[in-house]
Structure 1
Amino acid sequence: MSTTTTVKCLGTDCQNEAGALQCPTCLKLGIKDSIFCSQDCFKKNWVRNAYLALENDHKALHKVASGKTANGILDHIRTPKVISKPDPATGLYNPFPSYAYTGPLRPVYPLSARRTVPSDIPRPDYAETGYPKSEMYLNRNKFDILDAKGQEAMRKVCRLGREVLDIIAAEIRPGVTTDYLDEICHKATIERKSYPSPLNYNHFPKSFCTSVNEVICHGIPDQRVLLDGDIINLDVSVYHGGYHADLNETYYVGDKAKADPDSVRVVEAARECLDEAAKIIKPGTLIREFGNVIEKHAKSKNCSVIRTYCGHGVNTYFHSPPNIPHYAKNKAVGECKPGMTFTIEPMIALGKYRDVTWPDNWTSTTIDGKRTAQFEHTFLVTETGVEVLTARLPSSPGGPVQMPVAQNSTNGSA
């Protein structure tokens, strides 16, 4: 007995069966099953969806597949145009010596080889190709509601994510490299029969993100040694049982960082901003309200809120609707409903909220080089409120630090 299947049109919100119209660019790039029902439907999906600067259209798939750009959440790393000569003694070098860095931090190359994942560990669709095709055609106005089975799967993967983050955080100290931390992350993840979600997501080269000092997010682990006085954000995401967990925290490196009033102010402000936003999560809360709460608290600490990056839905997709801005008076649509899982991940800066990106097309830094901090949880909306799926444990490293007595403030304020 045989069965027949029909191919659906790839047009967003289109329920028609696909016809014979195939995208010519997709054919050149080797993307299969790119079939539409009509020329009009194809044209509609060619237009850019500018909502929150996220591309969710057919043209975006071409950019990712050809390695030119990504879908607005993470970008593709390219071969540097300018490479300085490696130090004869160490072999280390700055790959972008002519770039006008906004702060004192510099990348330290070469990057280590891409870490491998055992073949028996299930992986997301982008693990081999480098682009998350399934995310390209999500309806940005449709929010996933998980059933009891899905919610339990999210609880499990988020517990694993918390374990991995805590293992890495325990290794933070002056003298270790961020590449070493990436190795710890990778090993801890695969030991839990999980896949490190960032690895090869739009060709990201590492297993998690390490963002130091003025780096807002998406810092690439490299050969730079952590210094006493640094602050570092560890952004961990794991894929297990078909679901993703996503969480991050900012930590102090050494006692010098805990004694710096500016570093403590921005780190604790970011921590508190996430806590304040979490307090209002319940059925019926409007998505746009989180930004109002976050920016109000950030301003009370004389800090600013980064606007380029947002929280997002997370479940079987690494990044899915809703998009959750962290700044006030935003235009986000929708409301919280029981069964929704999403992240809130405010990025808070001492100075201006604008950002720039290094030539690696990943590392996002503050435009004025001042320090920034971030915290992130994955949340589950319940019938009565919220469950923090990635909550800290009593044994978790890090945690709040009291404001030291100000002496010589060096980092400035907003």
Structure 2
Amino acid sequence: MVLRMESPAPPIKVENWLRGEPLTSFQPGKVYIVEFWATWCGPCTAVMPHLVQLQEKYKDSGLELLGVAAYEQAPTADEARTSLDAWLTDKFSNLNFRIGFDSTGEMNKLWMDPSFSVGIPTSFVVDRDGRIAFVGFPTQLDDVLPKILNGSWRTSDEAKAADTERIDSGRREMREMKRKRALIEPILAKLQPAMESEDWAKALSTVEEAVAVMPDDLRFRALHAELLLHKLRNLQTGLPVLRQFARDAIDKNDEQWMEWALRQLFDPANDNSHFPSAERLAMGKELSEHILALNPPQGDGGFKYLSYGTVAQYYYESGNKDRAIELIEVALNSLGGPEPIPDELKQDVMSTLVEALANYKGEKACYGTVCATPQDGFPTASKRRQRSKQQKEG
């Protein structure tokens, strides 16, 4: 059964209520927002202050908001629940809405799967008669919620068209996800043991198989270049692969793609001495300039801390030490931006950036309580940055 506008709202079945009183049923006359989120999801945590504001603004109109943490990552459910509780205490000690915890997958089966919702954050709005009025991103609530509260939304052509498009889009995304999963799982089954045994030739043939069927999968494209250039040190084949990777990244105008391409050239954890110097610097210049144009230092674009470290390394190696220092400082300052960052990610990235800053300045550098001193050569901090980025993507 498809969960869509006008459908009766499913029940709430969570294991624990970590904040607020338990909700046993939707009360007639009230409007509910059921928000699926996770602490590791940047967009989810970034929108929480706004959800707090919505609850406060519309509480007298009968709004009740509840967050459903159904995606927490930990070895056990008890550890996930404990970590979530600590996170809420630290980040939102005065939270004004309920938080339910579910590690069983029951809430996904009841809400997310039948609505064709494939990612978080996802907001479900339950109308005053207990029926679904809206499913979508929480950023859309500013426009939709007042119309739901005054009763005009569900009867509007806008609502019907939006719901139809949402379901059609969700079905397409789910089909694509299933297709990719069917392709990826057997590839990963061969790739993982090859990587663990450092059988780079076997890993390369497996990755090339993956790239052939999934050319837009960033992870496989980056690993293809890394294996050729840094594990097998095969410039004859690797450089054309990297050139195409960089060109595709620029054509996509995608900051993450560009940073991952740039990292193949300027990751200080790698020995890059075998690259042709002129081409390496030329490619680095083009990729770096595109990243800075897309997410300029003076702009308010988020996640500078994830891409600026690699861009700074290009400028440092090209002889512009002052620019490299400036970009590292911008990246560090971005860690204190409006988007909440998981503590482990924040500390990991901060350590990486401060280490780079100390190396660039040639003297001890500190940011907050984190300090570093210059070292001979660069530490393998950029590998930690890659792991941190993968955690963020979830």
Q: Same fold (TM over 0.5)?
A: no
TM-score, normalised with respect to structure 1: 0.25
Higher RCO, 1 or 2 (CA under 8 Å, sep at least 6)? 1
Structure showing greater Rg: 2
TM-score, normalised with respect to structure 2: 0.26
More helix by share: 2
More strand by share: 1
